Amino acid sequence: MLNNWNTPVSELKGVGPKTAEYFHNLGITNIYEMLNHFPRTYLVFGGLKKISELQNDEIAAVRVRVDMVGNLRRVKNKMTILPIEVSDETGSMVIKYFNMPFMAKAVSKGGYYVFRGRVKKAGKEFTLVQPRKYAYDEYTELSGKFQCMYPLTKGLKNSTVIKAENSALKIADFTDDYLSEEYRNKLHLVSSKEAYRMIHDPSDEKESVLGRRRLSFDELFFFILYLRKNKELLKGAPNSCPMVESAEVKRFIEHLPYKLTKGQSKAVKEILEDLSGDAVMNRLVQGDVGSGKTIVAIAGLLNTVANGYQGAFMAPTEVLATQHFKTVSELTIRYGLPFKPVLLTGSVTEAGKRKIYEEIENGEVNLIIGTHALIQDKVVYKNLGLVVTDEQHRFGVRQRETLAGKGVGPHILVMSATPIPRTLAIVLYGDLSISAIKDMPEGRSPIKSCVVGESFRPSANKFIKDEIAKGHQVYIICPMVEASDDEDSDNELRNVVDYSDELKEALGDRYRISYLHGKMKPSEKENILDRFSSGDIDILISTTVIEVGINVPNATVMMIENSERFGLSQLHQLRGRVGRGKDQGYAIFMTGKSDEKTTERLGILAKTTDGFEIASYDLKTRGPGELFGVRQSGDFAFKIADVFADADLLSEASDLCDEILAHDRNLHAPENALIREEAEFYGRNFLDFRTI
């Protein structure tokens, strides 16, 4: 079936050279990648409403007459507002377009149009913000339909993606399905062909759920297949990097300015025992945000280095890797530790990398901290003894295989704040051992959280000012980097760039406000974070790049804009950035939506600080169409599957893998040819699958 799945995107309808480039920016180069670019959510076009029926904050469509196109207003230096007065037989309202001056020419006075957008009500006045315009016939055609909303990139429109996906659906060869009809029936899964159609062009919610279910199964199945193939590496391998418990670790821990919590001490003890035991270590340290996992990892790495081995410390983002590098470097100096650390990330220059590779190979450095650049082919370790992976489960599993493939069998330690149930851990990792840190460092009080709407903004601003006056710092999270030029976007989402301008205006010049997002140059990001951690920035406006790991104990307020757009676990992770020191931490969850469901869902965050409870609740309350994109949480980084929501699929996929491999260990039987072929395709995601 995969015969033509590497057809380049440029052969799809509506994809010229420019558009192809946008897709490349999203990592989409061929049909396979196109079809595996899933919608982040679906939009349903409701029936037309009358102006008098509109509710504050809802997204609605009205058929109205244009009474007057107002004058373009310029606000601040960058923004323009275009007001358009419209009416129907029940009332009148104003439409506002931000930074879309061309809309003045797109409508004519006296003309009738359908506008669909978010309703804002102030007093008796209704406004429709940034609505999309349709001809009446066009809208009736769409009405009741499900429209896919895809993750986009600058320049790329949702409608372009829809067209390309539909064209890919037509071209892609779906003749074979690795899951036979018999299995599909047994597992209640639709065919691969149906699944891709249902996810990209569902006629109703039920279809999107069915499509998602099959594609999640595929993702889990091939992941588990991959794990099983490498099972011997995961299970009971002998300890090829034996260590003794170094006195250095004890001395270091005794000299820390604080006492380790019970959970931390136990984790350290278990790690040291593993390192000196008979079998290679394969351990997960699980502890909620702020429970102090970093120091536990450092203790393990210290023992490794003191025994003459090298250690590697991997983080999912450069930002976090850089922070770990700084922490370790400081501790090294302060306590005279035997670390010779180096930072290796994707943004190190080629020449710089070559030098680092050399230092790693000849043992001049003994602690390598970085992103996945650490495990690339070119890195040859002299004597790697321990690999720690922070905040990314799957990464830990994968990189173990890669390293093992290089003929080294280091100990593996995975640090995570995502609470995964034990049964799940076993499916995912085989005989992984778990150290759970259940207690928080002494003197911490739980973060105080509230869920609020726009009307709370003045109070929020005042609160922020008060905290800064006390010498504290503030994070504000926005879902977007910059104003979207996506005309299909259905929401007025906050973006860091405009937001920082607005905030400067609202709060005045006294405050030092900066922003941070993933698209900035690594050196810029580093500079901003440096200044924030040394207290030179009062308010940091950021996207979720700071979601995991970042530690600035002086920051006490975390305000999240459009919090309805995030998963609960993700919000919990984000608020974990504050309340990490002796001072009370606060989380303000701003929401543009005031409906009951949203308030109730977010409300759980105000009720509990237990990450596990939050994850389970998230799972129970997520709507079926809401399992994509920004709302996905956790550090497994599956594209579509969710190890919580799909726990049943996970165990079914696991059973099927076992059944198949029991008969055909190397997938050489003709009846498994399709599985093998597809595994090689999926291998892209799982690095060395081709080596089976």
Whose Cβ is closer to Mg ion: residue 338's or residue 553's?
Answer: 553
Q: Count CB neighbours of 621 within 10 A.
A: 13
Contact criterion met (CB below 8 Å) for 234 and 400: yes
The torsion angles phi and psi of 241, rounded to 5 degrees, stand at -125, 65
Q: Which of residues 572-611 bind ligand ADP (CB under 6 A)?
A: 580
Could you tell me the smallest distance in angstroms from the CB atom of residue 580 to ligand ADP?
5
Residue 289 or 460 having the CB closest to Mg ion: 289
Among candidate residues 270, 310, 302, the one with its CA nearest the CA of residue 286: 270
Of residues 17 and 443, the one with the C-beta less far from ligand ADP: 443
C-beta separation of 590 from 561 below 8 A: yes
Site for ligand ADP in 295-354 (CB under 6 A): 295
CA atoms within 13 A on the CB side of 574: 29
Closest to ligand ADP by CB, 136 vs 258, is 258
**441 belongs to the binding site for ligand ADP (CB under 6 A):** yes
**Shortest Cβ 181–Mg ion spacing (Å):** 46
Q: Could you tell me which residues come within 8 angstroms of residue 304 by beta carbon, excluding any fewer than 6 positions away?
A: 241, 243, 275, 310, 311, 385, 386, 411
Least distance from ligand ADP to the Cβ atom of residue 635, Å:
12
- Provide the residue type at 645 as one letter: A
- Residue 633 CB, shortest distance to Mg ion, in Å, is 16
- In angstroms, the CA 553 to CA 442 distance is 14
Min dist CB 258 to Mg ion, Å, is: 16
* Residue 261 near which of Mg ion, ligand ADP, none (CB within 5-8 Å, type-dependent): ligand ADP
Binding site partner of 290, from Mg ion, ligand ADP, none, Cβ cut-off 5-8 A by kind: ligand ADP
Distances (CA, A) of 429 to 213, 218, 396, 468, 519: 22, 18, 10, 45, 33
Give the count of residues interacting with ligand ADP (CB under 6 A).
19
Residues 273-302 that bind ligand ADP (CB under 6 A): 287, 289-295
Q: Rule CB under 6 A: is residue 632 a binding residue for ligand ADP?
A: no
* CB closest to ligand ADP, residue no: 292
Nearer to Mg ion, 549 or 579 (CB): 549
Cβ proximity to ligand ADP: between 369 and 650 the closer is 369
In the complex, the smallest distance separating the C-beta of residue 268 from ligand ADP, rounded to whole angstroms, is 11
For residue 603, which of 454, 457, 414, 453 has the smallest C-alpha distance? 453
- Shortest spacing between CB 263 and ligand ADP, in angstroms: 9
Site string for ligand ADP, 416-435 (x = CB under 6 A): -x------------------
Query: What would the DSSP string read from start to end of 488-539?
Result: T--S---BHHHHHHHHHHHH-TTS-EEEE-TTS-HHHHHHHHHHHHTT--SE
Interatomic CA distance for residues 511 and 680, integer angstroms: 54
**Subset of 532-551 contacting ligand ADP (CB under 6 A):** 549, 551
* C-beta nearest to Mg ion: residue: 549
Q: How far is the CB of 90 from ligand ADP (least distance, A)?
A: 54
Strands 513-516 and 539-542: parallel
**How do beta strands 73-75 and 79-88 pair?**
antiparallel
Nearer to ligand ADP, 290 or 409 (CB): 290
SS3 letters across 637-658: CCCCCCCCCCHHHHHHHHHHHH
Instruction: Determine contact, residues 328/341, Cβ cutoff 8 Å.
Output: yes
549 or 625: whose CB is closer to Mg ion? 549
Q: Which positions from 252 through 271 interact with ligand ADP, judged by CB under 6 A?
A: 258, 260-261, 264
Helix H or strand E encompassing 44: strand 41-44
C-beta closer to ligand ADP: residue 287 or 430: 287
- Our finding on whether 473 is near ligand ADP (CB under 6 A) is no
Cβ proximity of 277 and 239 under 8 Å:
yes
Q: Which is nearer to ligand ADP, 213 or 577 (CB)?
A: 577
CB of 413 to Mg ion, least distance (A): 13
Tell me which residue of 224, 226, 233, 236 sits closest to 279, measured CA to CA: 236
Closest CA to 282 of 434, 390, 417: 434
- Which does residue 184 bind out of Mg ion, ligand ADP, none, counting CB within 5 to 8 angstroms by kind? none
Among 370, 549, 579, 625, binds Mg ion (CB under 5 A): 549
Neighbours of 134 (CB within 10 A): 19
Give the one entry of Mg ion, ligand ADP, none that residue 292 binds, where binding means its C-beta sits below a cut-off of 5 to 8 angstroms depending on kind. ligand ADP
Residue 8 has which token pair?
């380049």
36 binds, among Mg ion, ligand ADP, none (CB under 5 to 8 A by kind): none
The interface partner of residue 160, options being ligand ADP, Mg ion, none and the CB cut-off 5 to 8 Å by kind, is: none
Strand stretches in 510-638, DSSP E: 513-516, 539-542, 555-560, 586-590
The site partner of 441 among ligand ADP, Mg ion, none (C-beta below 5 to 8 Å per kind) is ligand ADP
Give the footprint of Mg ion on this chain (CB under 5 A): 549
Give the footprint of ligand ADP on this chain (CB under 6 A): 258, 260-261, 264, 287, 289-295, 417, 441-442, 549, 551, 553, 580
